[in-house]
Amino acid sequence: MIQRRRKGMVRFRTNNGFTLLEVLLAFVVFALSFTTVLEILSGSMRNTVRAREYTEAALVAQTVIDQLGLDLPVEAGANYSGESGDYQWELNIGLYEGGAENTHSVELSELTGIELLQIDLFISWGEPPRDKSNDFSTVRAMLVNRELAGG
């Protein structure tokens, strides 16, 4: 494009482009931004896998606890263990202590015919340097004397 000035001088108008320094700086900013986005995505994927594993462990725990009274007898002092897929579990049943506020639990169980059992379930999975585990605990009420229930 030609631009005319006064006194007959002709000057060519040049289009100024990006300098090499500007292009390199833009590339560095893009690379750093892209790296940050990739780190966020990989962290999100790790959290998703971890959440899946803990959800599966909770489902295994629910299944094992649901088996109590059906496949596994419910008795104070009983210990069971097993596997479910990649998950190994150990189940311990004991009398519920109830802490300091429950000092008369023996008298209450004799009076009501119901005793409370504490069920502790330990689930583990994974390989040794990165193995994971989770503990689950619940309390179940059982009749002390089945004759009271008519059976």
If the chain, 151 residues long, is cut into consecutive pieces of 10 residues, what is the mean pLDDT of each piece? 61 76 94 95 94 94 92 89 92 81 61 86 88 92 61 40
DSSP element (H, E) containing 33: helix 20-67
Q: Residue 65: which of 97, 89, 85 has the closest Cα?
A: 89
* Per-residue model confidence (pLDDT) at position 27: 95
* Per-residue model confidence (pLDDT) at position 151: 40
pTM attached to this predicted model: 0.66
- Using CA atoms, how far residue 12 sits from 4, 9, 17, 19, 133, in Å, is 9, 10, 15, 20, 75
